[in-house]
């Protein structure tokens, strides 16, 4: 070590550094142009000059990048003389290269706006960065200096393009003036590495983080391009990585794993847009796929979220989206299910980013907004000005001069129009993944006709191979929530299969005994993070460190390059011991991501994890005040002071553990409820299954056919049998929930059975109170009872479910016979064919043999003002029943009057089949609904056919209304008991529409089936299995840890006024009375397992009688006061 003085500050550093590096080490910035961390010092630009003096000699000006840091040296980096000389040099540089942004910025930093010297308009400063880079790091020397004096320049040998150049682009990258042009240097064509995450719209380095949300969020080296791995050169990334994390020797490893089960979720492949030649994707630069557009819209995308088109990077004024590219065509007779919504979303976001003026037009066949909340979103898009045009354009043409695109289309009114667009987005469909064929050949996984994984509707997460489960778009194109549900479902199947092995690979973490710090004066350690240059690049860390040292009770302060790194954790642990710290502050990033890590660290250092506070000086300081370093430094000090003020007052807290009741309550005995109950039972837990009706089965009792010919009633019988036979399932039919108490892990529910009498299924002496650890809501929904289209006036007007029952009741035979017999000759009595066909539903007495014309009307009670949502299954229901009729007797006319046919996924092929079999589909608009009248006993349905543009009247023998799915009115009461929310349509509202579709925000309560939203049989089963998996995350634990930051009552202050009790959203507070000093004392008691620590009580209390631990009024006040009284030191 040697010591020298820089700017009057004595410093100690290791020997062998230059003055520039020594200054950098102590945080003193010296401007430079030609110096680079990875290259040898060169001394060309002279910007880095400083004053140095040794011993008695007068100070001399020297370039700090080449001058060695010597013992006893006195250095001045900011003397008047230095600054003056530097200004002259930057003026010279500015005159030489007046257009270089980098030099302009440097000049600005040095306070030089303009140069007094006549501009030379050269484009090279002769800094030699490129030459050194090429020779030293790339080992090529493809460029060098040539000429002398004023003729000196950087060039390739003889000014000809080089053969040795490897076209790595390092020279181009490092050049501060933009002089180096790769195509002039090299004979070879440069091949930028396409950034996969941005669909190749921009390029990336060979060492890179694959995408912003990558897990782990760490860089990787692409060995196909890394100059070091390929040619043993470069190593620049190693030089720059301050964490010393670069390891070129890491190799791909093959691991053998022994597993009991496999889940395949290989996703999907995007349809190759280039194969639709008519849209010109491969030839026209402004025809892009929707995924490419998604990346363009992203803040982390190729254009940083600006809406620009690829050809000229200019903002488009008019964008066309073309739907169903690679879906719903002759080769792919399926719907990709997600494209309508992603196009809608992209159009909305594009308008948000680019401004309302941006025109977005979506060319579609049917808008399939069938998911929960989707139709509302579609309506919003229209309000925001997104235009929907019902037409599938046959081609896209490019206009060569403008690179704009021309589309011909036909309007609703039948007019041919041509429009020009700046950008065309192709809504490409989903294809089976490439891997599917391999899984088929290697594992024997059965694929369906399209190449996706085959599954049975009643076993939607199982492959044909035992023990191999499947999920995601591999089984059918699907959106995020369905994917998450199915993933949970697959996990549940594995949990059942491997229930015996559960937990055997888990090792519990052990902590050392916690130190008791009560009564000790605070001894605070403050750790201030550079976060590389994320914080230190803006905030002057050394100032913050010095400042923190003088804060009250702070005994130790340290700065770290990365406070979150593993070695810093070890260091913090050591320092806590060494300095006997009893409080810790980390000033770095956000507690939302890093608090758990640091809490764990101090717990390992025997401190209570709650004696910790973070100051967010990155996300809320350096990153948001990037151009105000001084103010940001001051703010960072304030934030540290506020954190110290709070941590002084923090107290040790304990997370109380409570045992778990390992049983589940399932509310609802329909398909979803029974499926989830069976799943949970299979996993080894007791289930209490409560059904309000006398019999199990719910809506499934009314479903008699499946598209694939399956027999749902047989499945239902088998399901009921399994439920009844399973000794883990305790069944309560004809039973209602009257009260629910407790919280996750330990609920207590009161039930009421029928009229108090045990029924046929219930055993006698069943308790009316059930204790359980989790709740699954599977209460279903019901078919809307239409008030329109003469439903209650004419028995020939029925709902789709009634039609299905009627079809089941009248064997197919009878309709076939109709062809041979004249109507009315026989008098076959109508038979109610199945025991499940309950007498509750009226069936039409229409003789099937007289049936000539069936009319179906879609969206009855759905997608209207009262119920703005889509009921999802009715289109498929209608197609299914129409096919059933046509199969029985092709001569029966079937008309389906629809708004958008929403036969998503593989249901599409049945829609195709229906059209082929002669089912006639006529579209109508929301404001031009069909009209139904009865004239002389004949039902007449009239509407305007939009294709013929003429009114049509159909005489219907049977009018079938596709009535929507509506929520149970009882949902409100149940939601209140469960403390969970309902959505605007009165279905239950999940914790997150996309990512947590089976969870409620309330812990321990889950959701599946129609109670969530309308869905099909396989979707209900999938969600039921998913809910079982989520329930298992709690049931599989022995104990749960309760929140530590919960309310507590200060008995002395509480006078029992009870103001806090009503506002508590969790009903966690009770007013109690007890004897104190011979008098009755009223006070409030907190139910610790129910309180979530929201602090509503604290803000309500006028007497400081109740607080939230860790957020006590005095603790927050301390922060407030610290913020207001800056102690400048």
Partner 1 sequence: MNNEQTKVTEFEPLILAFCCNWCSYAGADLAGISRMQYPTSIRIIRVMCSGMIHPNLVIDALTKGADGVIICGCHPGDCHYLEGNLKAEKRADAIRLMLEDFGIEDERFRLEWISASEGPRFAQVMTEFTEAVKKLGPSPFKM
Compute the distance between CA of residue 983 and CA of residue 996 in angstroms, rounded to an integer: 15
Q: How far is the CB of 635 from partner 1 (least distance, A)?
A: 5
**CA 320, 325, 330, 332 torsion-angle sign:** negative
**CA nearest neighbour of 337 among 870, 900, 898, 902:** 902
Instruction: Give dist(CA 725, CA 730) in Å, integer.
Output: 10
Question: For partner 1, which is the closer residue by CB, 197 or 886?
Answer: 197
**Is the separation of the CB atoms in 569 and 601 below 8 Å?**
yes
> With respect to partner 1, which residue has the nearer C-beta, 794 or 1088?
1088
CB of 298 vs partner 1, minimal distance in Å: 11
Q: Report in angstroms the alpha-carbon separations of 355 from 303, 348, 349, 517.
A: 16, 10, 10, 58
Shortest spacing between CB 781 and partner 1, in angstroms: 21
**Do 273 and 279 touch, CB atoms closer than 8 A?**
yes
Binding site for partner 1 (CB under 8 A): 299, 590-592, 616, 618-620, 623-628, 631-632, 634-635, 638-639, 642, 979, 981, 1001, 1045, 1063, 1065-1066, 1092-1096, 1098-1101, 1108, 1111, 1113, 1116-1117, 1119-1121, 1123-1125
Q: Least distance to partner 1 from the beta carbon of 1096, Å?
A: 5
| Burial (Cβ within 10 Å: 0-12, 13-18, ≥19) of residue 950 | exposed
Measured in degrees and rounded to the nearest 5, phi and psi for residue 596 equal -60, -40
Cβ distance to partner 1 smaller for residue 74 or 1116: 1116
**CA nearest 607: which of 517, 676, 543?**
517
Cβ neighbours for 1015, distance < 8 A, ≥ 6 positions apart: 872, 873, 1009, 1023
Residue 853 CA to residue 960 CA, distance in Å, equals 11
Three-state DSSP at 249 gives coil
Least distance to partner 1, CB of residue 173, Å: 22
Nearer to partner 1, 46 or 625 (CB): 625
The DSSP-derived string for 835-893 is: TTS-TTS------GGG--EEEEEEEETSSSSSS-S--SSHHHHHHHHHHHHHHH-TTSE
- Shortest gap between Cβ of 994 and partner 1 (angstroms)? 12
- Residue 591 or residue 946: which is nearer to partner 1 going by CB? 591
Q: Using DSSP, state whether 577 is helix, strand or coil.
A: helix
The minimum distance between CB 590 and partner 1, in angstroms, equals 5
Pick 350 or 818: Cβ nearer partner 1:
350
**DSSP 8-state class, residue 447:** B
Q: CB within 8 A of 1075, min separation 6: which ones?
A: 1081
> Residue 176: CB partners within 8 Å, gap ≥ 6?
33, 100, 102, 103, 125, 127, 129
Q: Cα angle at 165 between 162 and 169, to 5 degrees?
A: 120
Q: Which is nearer to partner 1, 626 or 1129 (CB)?
A: 626
Nearer to partner 1, 956 or 1108 (CB): 1108
Answer whether 772's CB lies under 8 Å from 665's CB: yes
Beta strands in 561-714 (DSSP E): 583-588, 612-616, 657-659, 663-667, 686-690
Cβ 628 to partner 1 shortest distance, Å? 6
884 or 1109, CB closer to partner 1?
Answer: 1109
Is 468 or 1101 the residue whose CB approaches partner 1 more closely?
1101
From the CB of 1121, what's the least distance to partner 1, in Å? 7
In angstroms, give the least distance from the CB of 300 to partner 1. 9
Residue by residue, what is the 3-state secondary structure of 993-1041?
Answer: CCCECCECCCCCEEECHHHCCCCCHHHHHHHHHHHHHHHHHHHCCCEEE
Question: Does residue 695 sit in helix, strand or coil?
Answer: coil
Q: Is 1007 exposed, middle or buried (0-12, 13-18, 19+ CB in 10 A)?
A: buried
Q: How far apart are CA 115 and CA 89, in angstroms?
A: 10
Rg value, the chain, Cα: 37
User: CB of residue 81 vs partner 1: minimum separation in angstroms?
Assistant: 22
**Within its chain, how far is the Cα of 282 from the centroid?**
31
- The 3-state secondary structure of 284-320 reads CCCEEEHHHHHHHHCCCCCCCCCCCCCCCCCCCCEEE
Tell me if residue 1093 falls in helix, strand or coil.
coil
> Smaller CB distance to partner 1: residue 562 or 707?
562
The least distance separating partner 1 from the CB of residue 91, rounded to whole angstroms, comes to: 20
Q: Which is nearer to partner 1, 698 or 1093 (CB)?
A: 1093
Residue number, 631 or 657, with CB nearest to partner 1: 631
Q: How far is the CB of 636 from partner 1 (least distance, A)?
A: 10
Of 148 and 627, the one with the shorter C-beta distance to partner 1 is 627
The separation between the first and the last C-alpha atoms of the chain, rounded to the nearest angstrom, is: 31
Q: Which is nearer to partner 1, 614 or 892 (CB)?
A: 614
* DSSP string over 708-775: TS--HHHHHHHHHHHHHH-TTEEEE-SEEEEEEEEETTEEEEEEEETTSS--SSSPTT--SEEEESEE
Q: How far is the CB of 125 from partner 1 (least distance, A)?
A: 30
Spacing of C-alpha 885 from chain mean position: 43
Residue 63 Cβ, how far from partner 1 at the closest point, in Å?
31
| Closest of 700, 769, 699 to residue 735, by C-alpha | 769
Beta carbon nearer to partner 1, 535 or 605: 535
To the nearest whole angstrom, how small is the minimum distance from the Cβ of residue 597 to partner 1?
16
Which one, 631 or 972, has the nearer CB to partner 1? 631
CA–CA distance, 409 with 365 (Å, rounded to integer): 12
Burial class (CB in 10 A: 0-12, 13-18, 19+), 583: buried
Task: Output the smallest distance, CB 1113 to partner 1, in A.
Answer: 6
Q: Cβ closer to partner 1: 147 or 355?
A: 355
Report the nearest approach of partner 1 to the CB of residue 299 (Å): 6
Q: State whether residue 195 is helix, strand or coil.
A: coil
């Amino acid at each position: 070590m040697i010591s020298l003085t820089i700017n009057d500050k004595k410093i100690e550093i290791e020997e062998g550094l230059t003055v520039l590096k020594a200054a950098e080490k102590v945080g003193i910035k010296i401007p430079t142009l030609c110096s680079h961390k990875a290259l040898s010092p060169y001394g060309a630009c002279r910007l880095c000059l400083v004053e140095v003096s040794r011993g008695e000699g007068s100070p001399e000006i020297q370039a700090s990048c080449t001058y060695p840091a010597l013992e006893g040296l006195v250095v001045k980096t900011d003397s008047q003389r230095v600054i003056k000389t530097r200004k002259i040099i930057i003026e010279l540089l500015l005159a030489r290269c007046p257009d270089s942004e980098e030099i302009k910025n440097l000049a600005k930093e040095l306070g030089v706006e303009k140069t007094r010297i006549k501009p030379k308009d050269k484009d090279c400063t002769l800094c030699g960065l490129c030459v050194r880079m090429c020779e030293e790091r790339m080992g090529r020397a493809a460029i060098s200096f040539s000429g002398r004096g004023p003729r000196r320049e950087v060039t390739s040998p003889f000014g000809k393009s080089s053969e040795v150049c490897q076209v790595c682009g390092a020279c181009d990258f490092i050049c501060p003036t933009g002089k180096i042009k790769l195509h002039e240097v090299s004979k070879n064509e440069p091949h930028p590495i396409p950034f996969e995450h941005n669909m190749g719209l921009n390029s990336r380095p060979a060492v890179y983080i694959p995408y912003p949300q990558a897990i782990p969020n760490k860089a990787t080296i692409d060995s196909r391009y890394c100059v070091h791995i390929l040619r043993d050169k470069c190593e620049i990334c190693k030089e720059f990585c301050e964490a010393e994390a670069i390891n070129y020797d890491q190799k791909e490893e093959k691991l053998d794993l022994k597993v009991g089960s496999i889940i395949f979720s290989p996703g999907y492949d995007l349809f190759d847009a280039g194969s639709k030649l008519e849209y010109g994707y491969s030839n026209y630069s402004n025809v892009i796929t929707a995924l490419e557009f998604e990346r363009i819209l992203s803040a982390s995308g190729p254009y940083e979220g600006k809406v620009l088109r690829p050809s000229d990077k200019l903002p488009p004024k008019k964008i066309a989206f073309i739907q169903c590219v690679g879906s719903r065509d002759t080769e792919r007779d399926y719907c990709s299910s997600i494209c309508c919504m992603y196009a809608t979303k992209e159009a909305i976001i594009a308008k948000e980013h680019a401004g309302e003026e941006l025109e977005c037009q979506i060319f579609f066949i049917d808008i399939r907004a069938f998911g929960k909340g989707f139709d509302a979103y579609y309506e919003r898009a229209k309000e925001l000005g997104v235009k929907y045009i019902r037409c599938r354009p046959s081609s896209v043409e490019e206009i060569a001069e403008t690179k704009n695109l021309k589309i011909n289309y036909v309007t609703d009114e039948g007019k041919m129009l041509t429009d020009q667009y700046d950008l065309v987005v192709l809504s490409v469909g989903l294809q089976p993944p490439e891997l599917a064929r391999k899984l088929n050949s290697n594992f024997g996984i059965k694929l369906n006709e399209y190449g996706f994984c085959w599954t049975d509707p009643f076993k939607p997460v199982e492959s044909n191979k035992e023990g191999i489960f499947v999920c995601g778009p591999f089984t059918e194109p699907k959106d995020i929530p369905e994917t998450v549900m199915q993933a949970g479902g697959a996990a549940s199947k594995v949990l059942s299969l491997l229930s015996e092995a559960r937990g055997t690979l888990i090792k519990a973490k052990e902590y050392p005994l916690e130190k008791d710090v009560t009564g000790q004066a605070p001894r605070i350690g403050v750790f201030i993070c550079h976060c590389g240059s994320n914080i230190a690049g803006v905030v002057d860390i050394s100032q913050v460190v010095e400042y923190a040292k003088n804060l009250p009770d702070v005994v130790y302060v340290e700065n770290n390059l990365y406070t979150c790194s593993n070695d810093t954790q070890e260091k913090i642990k050591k320092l806590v011991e060494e300095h006997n710290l009893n409080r810790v502050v980390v000033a770095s990033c956000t507690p939302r991501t890093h608090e758990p890590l640091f809490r764990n660290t101090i717990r390992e250092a025997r401190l209570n994890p709650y004696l910790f506070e973070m100051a967010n000086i990155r996300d809320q300081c350096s990153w948001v005040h990037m151009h105000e370093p001084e103010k940001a430094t001051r703010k960072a000090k304030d934030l540290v002071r506020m954190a110290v003020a709070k941590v002084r007052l923090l107290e040790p807290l304990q997370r109380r553990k409570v045992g778990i009741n390992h049983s589940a309550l399932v509310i609802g005995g329909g398909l979803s409820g029974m499926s989830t109950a069976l799943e949970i039972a299979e996993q080894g837990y007791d289930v209490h299954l409560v059904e309000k009706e006398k019999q199990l089965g719910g809506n499934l009792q009314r479903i008699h056919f499946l598209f694939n010919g399956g027999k749902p009633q047989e499945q239902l019988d088998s399901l009921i049998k399994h439920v009844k036979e399973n000794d883990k399932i305790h069944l309560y039919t004809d039973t209602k929930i009257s009260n629910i108490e407790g919280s996750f892990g330990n609920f207590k529910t009161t039930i009421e059975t029928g009229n108090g009498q045990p029924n046929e299924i219930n055993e006698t002496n069943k308790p009316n109170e059930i204790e359980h650890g989790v709740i699954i809501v599977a209460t279903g929904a019901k078919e809307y009872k239409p008030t329109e289209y003469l439903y209650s006036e004419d028995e020939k007007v029925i709902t789709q479910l009634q039609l299905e029952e009627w079809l089941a009741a009248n064997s197919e035979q009878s309709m076939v016979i109709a062809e041979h017999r004249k109507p009315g000759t026989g008098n076959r009595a109508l038979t109610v064919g199945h025991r499940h066909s309950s007498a509750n539903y009226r069936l039409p007495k229409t003789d099937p043999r007289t049936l000539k014309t069936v009319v179906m009307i879609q969206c009855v009670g759905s997608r209207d003002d009262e119920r703005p949502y889509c009921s999802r299954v009715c289109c498929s229901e209608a197609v299914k029943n129409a096919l059933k009729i046509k199969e029985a007797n092709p001569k029966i006319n079937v008309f389906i009057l629809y708004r958008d046919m929403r036969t998503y996924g593989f249901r599409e092929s049945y829609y195709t089949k229906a059209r082929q079999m002669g089912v006639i589909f006529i579209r109508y608009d929301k404001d031009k609904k069909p009209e139904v009248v009865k004239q002389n006993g004949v039902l007449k349905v009239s509407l305007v056919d939009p294709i013929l543009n003429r009114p049509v009247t159909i005489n219907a023998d049977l009018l079938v209304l596709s009535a929507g799915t509506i929520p149970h009115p009882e949902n409100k009461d149940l939601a209140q008991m469960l403390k969970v929310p309902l959505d605007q349509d009165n279905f239950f509202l999940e914790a997150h529409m996309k990512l947590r579709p089976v969870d409620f925000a309330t812990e321990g309560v889950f959701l599946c089936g129609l109670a969530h939203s309308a869905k099909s049989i396989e979707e209900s089963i999938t969600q039921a299995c998913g809910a079982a998996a989520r329930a298992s995350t709690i049931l599989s634990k022995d104990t749960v840890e309760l929140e530590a930051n919960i309310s507590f009552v200060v008995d002395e202050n509480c006078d029992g006024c009870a103001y806090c009790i009503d506002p508590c959203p969790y009903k966690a507070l009770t007013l109690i009375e007890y004897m104190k000093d011979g008098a009755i004392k009223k006070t409030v008691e907190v139910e610790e397992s129910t309180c979530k620590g929201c602090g509503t009580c604290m803000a309500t209390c006028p007497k400081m009688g109740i607080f939230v631990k860790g957020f006590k009024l005095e603790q927050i006040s301390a922060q407030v006061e610290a913020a207001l009284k800056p102690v400048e030191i």
